[in-house]
Amino acid sequence: MLLAAATAMAGVAVGAAIAWRLRMRSRQLATKVSGRQPPMAKLEDEHPRHDFMLPSPPRAFLGGDPAGLQQIILEAEKPFRVSSVDYLTGSGKPVSRQELQLQGKHIAHPVEDQFVRAVLRIESNPWDGSGAIQFRFHIWFGNLERDIVYVVAVVPEIKLGPAGRVREFRRLVDPRTVPPSMTSVLIN
């Protein structure tokens, strides 16, 4: 019985020592953190709060008709500037870059067929010429830079024009809206 009481007292003493040491460590950590607060507050005062948070990226969607002009439309709640767009293959290989100087809340970027054909020459389905293209837009919100990537599927179309001429178009479509019967496997 005396041995059990001594063991219990030793357990209480060890537990109290461990608790005291942990509290000491917490106090040291709290002191370190509180010592860092004034420099952080000074930095926050020097830079407005909106500089620390990037605005939400613009929404991208397709517009236009492949027989005419197809566009990628970018919309955001705050004005932004687009400095360039990279044309990438479906797997992400860069093919070409187009320098731009567009700005506003609503930007319509016309897609040039020469860039689409350049991407499809590198990576497309050899049977029907379909493929995927990624557009990487370099966007600036004030002095903050951000890249957004918009992926489209390319579906070739053939139409009869005036006097029975055959015209080939490359229709850009949102890959989420392509019916399963029109999808094909890319072969590198």
| Cα–Cα dist 110/157, whole Å | 19
Statement to judge: residues 68 and 139 lie in one domain: yes
Residue 70 DSSP label:
E
Q: How confident is the model at residue 136 (pLDDT cuts 50, 70, 90)?
A: very high
Question: pLDDT over 70 for what percent of the chain?
Answer: 67
Q: Is residue 53 part of a domain?
A: no
Statement to judge: residues 128 and 86 lie in one domain: yes
**How many domains does one find in the chain?**
2
Does 86 have pLDDT greater than 90? yes
- For residue 62, the SS3 value is strand
Global pTM? Answer: 0.63
Ramachandran angles phi, psi of 78, nearest 5°: -115, 150
Statement to judge: residues 104 and 138 lie in one domain: yes
Mean pLDDT of the chain, nearest integer: 76
Residues in the chain: 188
**Whole-angstrom Cα Rg for the chain:** 30
Statement to judge: residues 32 and 117 lie in one domain: no
Domain residues for the domain of 68 are 59-182
